[in-house]
Amino acid sequence: MIRFATRTQEDTDILLNTTLDGGCKLVVHNDEVNTFDWVIKALIEICHHTPEQAEQCTLIIHFKGKCVVKEGNEEELLPMRRAIVERGIGATLEYE
């Protein structure tokens, strides 16, 4: 006989809080200045993206106007945002 675990509301709340740890998102915005290659290089070096991940993010940025490139807590994401902005790329932090 197979038994399925049941979750209580408390289990669900703990799971959600773990998943949304920090509730902060690093968002990169589209512009008419920076090249795809420049943004890809920044995402790889600063956010530790794989080349494929960085390329996909730049396509989303180009076609949608912005993309969440990293999620986490403010302490982790603020230095990344500063480094991206120092390269002339628009980036913001969004809080949940």
- For residue 89, which of 44, 29, 37, 41 has the smallest C-alpha distance? 29
3 belongs to a structural domain: no
Question: How high is the pLDDT of residue 19?
Answer: 41
- The SS3 of residue 41 is helix
Overall domain count for the chain: 1
Q: How many helices (H) and strands (E) does the chain have?
A: 4, 3
75 belongs to a structural domain: yes
79 belongs to a structural domain: yes
CA angle, 61 as apex, 87 and 39 as ends, to 5°?
30
Question: How high is the pLDDT of residue 28?
Answer: 98
pTM for the structure as a whole: 0.77
Question: How high is the pLDDT of residue 21?
Answer: 56
48 belongs to a structural domain: yes
Return the structure tokens found at 64: 């949608």
54 belongs to a structural domain: yes
Question: How high is the pLDDT of residue 96?
Answer: 86
Mean pLDDT per 10-residue segment, the chain (96 residues): 45 42 90 97 98 98 98 97 98 96
Looking up residue 49, the CATH number of its domain turns out to be 3.30.1390.10
11 belongs to a structural domain: no
Residue with tokens 């969004």: 94
Domain coverage including residue 75: 19-95
87 belongs to a structural domain: yes
Can you tell me the distance from the alpha carbon of 90 to that of 78, in angstroms, rounded to the nearest whole number?
Answer: 13
